[in-house]
Each structure stands twice: as structure tokens, then as C-alpha cells.
Amino acid sequence: MLQYLVRLVGSLIFISWVVGSMVFFLIHLVPGDPVEVMLGDWASPADADALRHQLGLDLPLFQQYIHYLTGIVQGDFGQSLFYQQPVSELITNRFPYTLQLALLSLLIAVLIAFPLGIWASIRAGKWPDHLAMSVSLIGVSVPNFWLGPMLILAFSIGLSLLPVSGAEQPFSWVLPAITLGTALAAILARMLRASLLEIYHEDFIRTARAKGLSGAAVYGKHALMNAMLPVITVLGLQLGTLLGGAVITEVVFDWPGLGQLLVESIQRRDYPVVQACILIISVAYILVNGLTEVVYAWLDPRIRLAK
């Protein structure tokens, strides 16, 4: 297990360097000058040159890259070109909102998917199964950029039950979390159903039934625990995606998370913020997938012994 953790840390460092380097060079290829965005079209060349020198944008690209890597090693993401404050402060202020939205969306998805998937697997081939899978198919097919505005029209504008946008009011999280959670719930429900149907035909399930165990014990303790590995795979991948910032959903609901900060920074050519956001997203994704493998080892001793 120690060797596995060392490999995980090594891959984390390597992938973070690759992603950070790609983002740094690619973002400098994007048309547009951040100095012109900050000063406007009517700024004098002298003012533009002075600001470019102050921000270090007049240095050669490779020298800027070295400064960027040195800052990351020291935990310094630099200064925002637009907000004029340390990027680490912006990330610290925005990341809790993205984490909150991701965890709430995941909770909603689990609360919907597990009863739906278990119900469909127990009544496989009958109308509850067809109904559950039809609902999940609709959930997978409906895009977030359509579902979000429809929820706003229905529950915010039509019924005046929930806030339209922002994160200031107590129940501001409900609509964006439902928007993200329903699609994830549909994927989880279908995966859980398929996994449970495979487990039901195993010998240990027949043995448990022959011993006279109750349906709750057979389906809950024996079948569900052994069907969790593929479900955890999907959970890990989707949680990494959610932590990466559901950009469309955050923009639709004006949610002040990393996704919205990333979009705003791309529009303003705020290089340090864009680089830091994507790097944080990548690291979060890698860490979540690493944690998923650790959970694998806890659920299945064979994986733990293989490590």
C-alpha cells in the first residue's frame, strides 16, 4: 500500500506539471491582450507599456513560465491581473462554494439513484423496472443548460418558492444542486441496476436465500455491498467532475464558485487566475480518483492484497 501511495503522489505531481504547463502555453495563444482589456481601447501606449511592465507581461514567455513554476512550488499562484489581489485568496473564497455544490449534488444523486436502482433491479423486466429506466434515460438526456432555466422559470419565477441566483439566501443551493444531481442520479441508477442484476445470479446470493435470510439482508448486506465497486467508479469520476466546477450550472445560477470564476477570468484574459483554476480542478480530480482506489481496497480485500 505504501508503494501505491508513492506512485499516486508521483503521478499527481507529474500530471499537475503537465496540465499546468499546457494551460500556461495555450492560454498565451488565445487572441487578446489583458492590458487592453484592463485599460480599454483609449489608453495611451505609454500607460499600456507601464502596466505590462508592472505585471511582468513584457518578459520573454519562457521566463514567465519559470516564474510561474517557481511560484507554484512555493504555493504562490501570483497576482490577479483584473482583481489586483493574490490568486490564492480568490481560490480560497470561491472553492468552498464549488465544494458545497458538488457535495449537495452528490447527496441528491445518491438519494434518488439508490432507491431507484434497487427497485428496478428487484422488479427487473416488469413495469417498475421500465418506469425507473425511462426516468433515468430522461435524466441523462436532458442537458443542464436547459434544465437549469426551466427550474428557474418553474420554481423561482412561476411559484416564487426558491431564489433565482446567487448564494446569499438559505435555499439558493437547491436549484443548482438539483440540476447537477439529477443527471448524476440517472447514471448511478442505471449502473447500480446493472451491477445488482449480475450479483443476483452469484452462488453466494443463492446460498443466502437458501439459509432463509430476509430480503433486506440479501439485497442490502450481501448484494449491495458486492455491487458497489462499479458504482464507486462512477461516483469518483462524477465527483471529480463536479469539483472541477460545473461551469454551465454555475453560470446559469450565478453561483460564485470556481466555474464562474474561470469563465470570467477567460473573458478578461486574467492568465494567473485561469492557470490556477484549471490546476486546482486537475489536482482535485486526481485526488478524488486516488481516493476512489483507496475505497476499492477497503471494499474488496483482493485489491488491497494486490497492492
Tens digits of residue pLDDT in 257-296: 888 888 888 887 788 888 888 888 888 877 887 777 777 6
What Å distances lie between residue 175 and 10, 101, 161, 185, 241, CA to CA? 39, 10, 11, 15, 18
| Residues 6 or more apart in contact with residue 138 via CB below 8 angstroms | 186
Using only C-alpha atoms, the chain has a radius of gyration, in whole angstroms, of 24
Query: If you ran DSSP here, which 8-state letter would residue 167 be given?
Result: S
Enumerate long-range contacts of 259-267, CB under 8 Å, 24 or more apart: 259/98, 260/94, 261/90, 261/94, 265/80, 265/82, 266/30
Mean of pLDDT values over 85-112? 89
Q: Spell out the domain ranges in the chain.
A: 2-73, 95-306
Mean of pLDDT values over 163-172? 84
Mean of pLDDT values over 28-43? 70
Condensed to tens digits (0 to 9), the pLDDT of residues 194-242 reads: 888 888 777 777 777 777 776 667 776 667 777 777 787 778 777 777 7
Assign domain 95-306 to its CATH architecture.
Answer: Orthogonal Bundle (1.10)
d(CA 226, CA 27): 45
Cell of 11: 503521478
* Beta bridge partner(s), residue 86: 79
Q: Give the range among 20-34, 111-125, 209-223, 283-297 with minimum mean pLDDT.
A: 209-223
Please state at what angle helix 271-299 crosses helix 258-267, rounded to 10 degrees. Answer: 150
Which residue is listed with cell 438559505?
A: 170
Q: Are 57 and 63 in contact (CB under 8 A)?
A: no
d(CA 165, CA 173): 9
Query: If you ran DSSP here, which 8-state letter would residue 180 be given?
Result: H
Q: Is 29 exposed, middle or buried (0-12, 13-18, 19+ CB in 10 A)?
A: exposed
pLDDT for residue 91 is more than 80: yes
pLDDT band at 304 (very low <50, low <70, confident <90, very high): low
Cell of 136: 433515468
d(CA 112, CA 117): 9
Mean of pLDDT values over 162-184? 86
> What does the pLDDT read at residue 41?
67
pLDDT for residue 303 is more than 60: no
d(CA 188, CA 186): 6
Condensed to tens digits (0 to 9), the pLDDT of residues 51-81 reads: 777 777 777 888 888 888 888 888 788 788 7
